[in-house]
Amino acid sequence: MKIKDILAEESMIMDLKATDKESAIKEMADLEVKTGIVNDEDAFIKSIWDREKEGTTGIGGGIAMPHARNKSINKARVLFAKSAKGIDYEALDGQPVNLFFMITAPDGADNTHLQALSKLASLLINPDLVEALKAAKTPAEVIKLFTDAENAKDEEDKKEAAKKEAAKADKSDKPLIVGVTACINGIAHTYMAEEALIKAGKKLGADVRIETNGSEGVKHKLTQDEINRSIGVVIASDKKVDMPRFDGKPLTNHPVVDGINKPEELVKTILDGNAPVYHNEGGASEAEAASSEKQGVWSVIYKHLMNGISHMLPFVIGGGILMAISFIVENYAGGAKAPAFIFLNSAGNLAFAFMVPVLSAYIAESIGDLPALMPGFVGGYMAAIVNGTNGLTVNVQPHSASPAGFLGGLAAGFIAGYLMVALKKAFAKLPKSVEGMKPMLIYPILGLLLIAAIMYYIVNPIFSGINLVITNFLNSMSGANLALLTAILAGMMSIDMGGPFNKAAYVFASGAFANNPKSATAAVLMAAVMVGGMVPPFATAIATAFFKNKFTADERRAGISNWVLGFSFITEGAIPFAAADPGHVLPSCIIGSAIGGALVGVWNVQVPAPHGGLWVSPLSNHILLFFLATIVGSIIAALILGLWKKPVKENA
């Protein structure tokens, strides 16, 4: 249906006399009756107002589209009306309405008014058409404007359809490789790996489609048709990936950093037919086995650990920052009885209470899939609590009043995961008639029984003692010893900027903070890793600003955004620089981070929050020293990088 088929010169008001919404509707309704479109004006006006009560049809931009469908209407029609001065029609943007499109359709019509609405809306997105309609003098000019705009849009739609057909033809000519990229924070690595793999595919003559699992959730989700048409799958992820959908496909499985650093190798593995076939049977596959052998034991452990940490971080960050704010309220706004303190501290503690159980649950789930989730959660919960706390009346720590804590939760996650793998193998040969009993009965009961026994009799007694020793050790640290530890932790944040060393340092500090959020030493460690993580983006931002001849134009542009990333404790902003020139960038940043971390230890700078960068500086006991440690470390790293790095040929 064309717009011109429901437009008519007789149904146009080129100079609306109405000055308000009510009189405008009445004036347009009068014309509808006069032209025979409407047979009962009162019923028609009532239906228009009923629709307005649901929500104004003044869509903004000077346009209103009142509409109705009922027995009082004889014919589908779009009445056009124009007001030079504009009318207050309660539009969404609060601005006066100049153009009115009153859409009518008889009761029982085949959604004519909805089709007209859709077409009008799609055409009126064009601001040039709207301005032309406001300037139109005659009904014939209005019809011509719509006809030309609709024809132009139809032509665009045809071209777009042709492009899609050409793209389909192109798909059949090139091999299709699908993949997934994901990292723990999902801020930089995920999308850098995506871009690198797509570029590698183009270079090697393949069409690469990547599903990203970043900070905003899953984007560009792969369809089953794409998976079916693909010749293989590339997984570049530090997190758990939805794997069963790739059953029967050649698959290569790597950490996300491999997707950034060696994308061509990953794509070529699929193109050359060297990737093992993935089989989603019993939770194991040739692809996973081959990947594990290639990556080594630590890489496999790291992937499972990152799956737990990625799910744990929101609890740590949200709960930790609220608790830190509550301490400020306690100190400066009424003490421990202040309602604000009680509210904030309770909310933070509730989030923190889930931290270790969530960590354990998702480590277990990464290893043993969904059946391992519940045993992992219970094991983590047993590690996190002390006798009688959190509403429990049972004794879960038989030999100690200290919880097994963060380390006990890590152990619980891995034990629960591999317990479930063992149970799956043990019951793999059960008759198919009782197959449904495994996930609904066997796995939950045996999984819970075994993990509870292991935690009660083995893990908790051992790790509660270890946790107590570590806590006492950290609390006893001061002076040079503390400065050495903070320098090491801060330096580790720059070694791989989001990789295993970076995450190990962060996990150590956040684990100490989780065990005792009020610990001064834990707060110093958190300040150190934050300074260490902020130095790389700040250093590259400073270096690109003051040593412009040492960086390309693209790097200088990237350096500008690193001011904000550095302030926000997003280390990954420096990754493009490190990837392009690791020999100069990494040593410079490690030195700067270590010096900044050492200053934190010497000055006893505390930040009782697990994330936030300089945004959470008001929580610090020494705000200026927190800033100063970051500035000194960043400037030293920038100077080393700028003086050491050679000039580039591209100066534009």
Q: Which of 59-63, 459-463, 471-475, 633-637 is the most confident on average? A: 633-637
Write the DSSP symbol of residue 528: H
**Which of 113, 183, 304, 589 is labelled catalytic?**
183
Q: Euclidean distance between the first and final Cα of the chain, in Å? A: 54
Distance CA 606, CA 618 (A): 11
pLDDT at residue number 71: 85
pLDDT tens sequence across 166-197: 655 555 578 999 999 887 655 556 776 888 89
pLDDT at residue number 120: 65
Same domain, 317 and 226: no
Answer for the pair 397, 456: CB distance below 8 angstroms, yes or no.
Answer: no
Same domain, 468 and 492: no
pLDDT exceeds 90 at position 141: yes
Same domain, 210 and 66: no
pLDDT at residue number 576: 75
Same domain, 515 and 633: yes
CA-nearest of 387, 171, 398, 175 to 269 is 175
Answer for the pair 559, 540: CB distance below 8 angstroms, yes or no.
Answer: yes
pLDDT exceeds 60 at position 502: yes
Cβ neighbors of 179 (< 8 A, separation 6 or more) are 197, 208, 209, 210, 211, 233, 234, 235, 236, 259
Does residue 164 sit within a domain?
Answer: no
Distance CA 626, CA 632 (A): 10
In this structure, what CATH number is given to the domain that contains residue 19?
3.40.930.10
Same domain, 138 and 216: no
Q: Which domain holds residue 328?
A: 300-472
| Residue 432 CB neighbour total at 10 angstroms | 6
Same domain, 529 and 394: no
Q: Considering all CA atoms of the chain, what is the largest pairwise distance in Å, rounded to the nearest integer?
A: 93
CA-nearest of 113, 145, 152 to 130 is 145
Window from 86-95, 314-323, 467-476 with minimum mean pLDDT:
467-476
Number of domains in the chain: 4
pLDDT at residue number 391: 41
pLDDT tens sequence across 21-55: 999 999 999 999 999 999 999 999 999 998 888 67
pLDDT at residue number 29: 95
What confidence tier does 562 reach under pLDDT thresholds 50, 70, 90? confident
pLDDT at residue number 346: 87
Catalytic site includes residue 67 = yes
Does residue 634 sit within a domain?
Answer: yes
Distance CA 64, CA 44 (A): 17
Answer for the pair 569, 617: CB distance below 8 angstroms, yes or no.
Answer: no
pLDDT at residue number 109: 58
Same domain, 539 and 640: yes
Catalytic site includes residue 113 = no
Same domain, 133 and 182: no
Same domain, 609 and 491: yes
Same domain, 125 and 60: yes
- Among 260, 295, 330, residue at a domain's last position: 295
pLDDT exceeds 60 at position 289: no
Percentage above 70 pLDDT, the chain: 84
What is the phi/psi pair of residue 392, to 5°? -85, 145
pLDDT tens sequence across 416-443: 999 999 998 888 777 766 767 788 888 8
Average pLDDT on 90-103 reads 87
Distance CA 256, CA 500 (A): 11
Does residue 108 sit within a domain?
Answer: yes
Distance CA 562, CA 568 (A): 9
Same domain, 505 and 439: no
215 alpha-carbon distance from chain centroid: 2
Percentage above 90 pLDDT, the chain: 30
| Cα distances (angstroms) measured from residue 116 to each of 4, 90, 136, 626 | 10, 22, 21, 61
**Which of 67, 113, 254, 304 is labelled catalytic?**
67
| Residue 269 CB neighbour total at 10 angstroms | 20
**Token representation of residue 518:** 């009020």
In this structure, what CATH number is given to the domain that contains residue 221?
3.40.50.2300
Same domain, 516 and 621: yes
What confidence tier does 652 reach under pLDDT thresholds 50, 70, 90? very low
pLDDT at residue number 588: 94
Per-chain mean pLDDT for the chain = 81
Please tell me whether residue 413 adopts helix, strand or coil conformation.
helix
Distance CA 560, CA 238 (A): 28
What confidence tier does 388 reach under pLDDT thresholds 50, 70, 90? very low
What confidence tier does 286 reach under pLDDT thresholds 50, 70, 90? very low
Whose tokens are 């790389």? That residue is 536
Distance CA 592, CA 643 (A): 14
pLDDT at residue number 594: 94
